[in-house]
Structure 1
């Protein structure tokens, strides 16, 4: 048996551990409450018109308490943007796991991303503006999002290369090239002059043709057939 002092020490350590876990859980819940309140304010009045006092009032706490969990309004703002971009990434990752050819999976990934950004632009305009501003400023969480999308796309390209569907080359480099070409649809941008830019389908067709670059007349036919079959569900 443990000596009495050692037993009491062990009991105290267990109590401290449970106390720390409970404190972390409470802290996590408070952070979540702040972020939910902030997101709703951004949605209602926009990020430029929202200040820490507004966030504190909406989250039912003092402004001083906000700063216990976030360094500044910018810190809160960047966390909200990171979560919004993570929603897009997770949706893209889900469709990336589906079956089918590499071209079909790539099309599904980029279509999912584009549809989510467009849906937010139409239905949550102020949140769209928040993410677009972060993209325009090339904030760290936007760069991290792009890196994650590139990391999602590269293995699909590599799998397509292994199956003879996609041209040779470094899959990571090809993924970056693809993201660069699809930039307007992968990264949130302001509306701008949409008529002057290729549509999503036009740009995707161009990228698929580049990835399936044939080396013989027979390959031209097979690549075109693959592209039509893979991109027919739009």
Structure 2
């Protein structure tokens, strides 16, 4: 039987039992205080059995983070497929991600601490999540370019720049920081303006208005 599949009868497979046991413990005492022995006891198996499915304690932590970030991406993916304008879909995607992180911080602070630590340690699972988000954003931008809503250019590069601009609302480690940062609405307005496909006359007008200041 594949280690990631459910056991006969629909019960969780051993790997999933381990992950769920770890989540319970992380919520109760935090990931830093949780040992492999604790996880094994909570999952009703031996520590040696844990290592059959995960090579280390960090591997268990990474599996938990992957699940948490996967839920965030799943919610964002639903918004990315909605039948509204590109700007509205982008806003919904970013807002969903931001709200999922803020909800975890408010209601699951110890799990949020693990997600933040994973990002600060540059775990591969965090990079994979960021790539998935950029992929969602890139697909929305590409569709907007095809419809004429967004300006021309590399959708991949535009997605990267847009995600960087919205970073304080996408990065779990920056969710808590509010002082001095632009509001979500202000950042979305900025990004939408940068992506919007300006009419040729508007672009020409902007160029005519710009005059470099001559220095003496």
Q: Could you say whether these structures have the same fold, taking a TM-score greater than 0.5 normalized by the shorter chain as the test?
A: yes
- Distance in 1 (CA, whole Å) between partners of 2:56 and 2:154 is 41
Which structure 2 residues correspond to residues 135-154 of structure 1 after superposition, within 5 A? 135-154=119-138
The answer to whether residue 196 in structure 2 is matched with residue 212 in structure 1 is yes
Structure 1 runs of 4+ aligned residues shifted over 3 Å read 20-28, 190-193, 215-219
Partner of 1:45: 29
Residue of structure 2 aligned with 1:97, choices 73, 81, 85: 81
The answer to whether residue 142 in structure 2 is matched with residue 158 in structure 1 is yes
Residue of structure 2 aligned with 1:114, choices 86, 93, 98: 98
- Distance in 2 (CA, whole Å) between partners of 1:53 and 1:173 is 46
Structure of greater Rg: 1
* Pairwise CA distance, 1:26: 3.7
The CA deviation string for residues 157-203 of structure 1, in whole angstroms up to 9 with x for no partner, is 01111222111111111001111111121221155542122222221
Tell me whether 68-77 or 182-191 shows the greater mean CA deviation. Answer: 182-191
The answer to whether residue 167 in structure 2 is matched with residue 183 in structure 1 is yes
The answer to whether residue 36 in structure 2 is matched with residue 31 in structure 1 is no
Residue of structure 2 aligned with 1:77, choices 48, 52, 61: 61
Against the structure 1 CA distance between its residues 123 and 180, is the aligned structure 2 distance closer, same or farther, given a 3 Å change threshold? same
Alpha-carbon RMSD across the aligned residues, in angstroms, is: 2.3
Q: TM-score, normalised by structure 1?
A: 0.79
Q: Which consecutive residues of structure 1, in runs of 5 or more, have no partner in the other structure?
A: 1-19, 220-234
The answer to whether residue 45 in structure 2 is matched with residue 61 in structure 1 is yes
Query: Relative to total residues, which structure has the larger helix share, 1 or 2?
Result: 1
SS in 2 for 1:166: coil
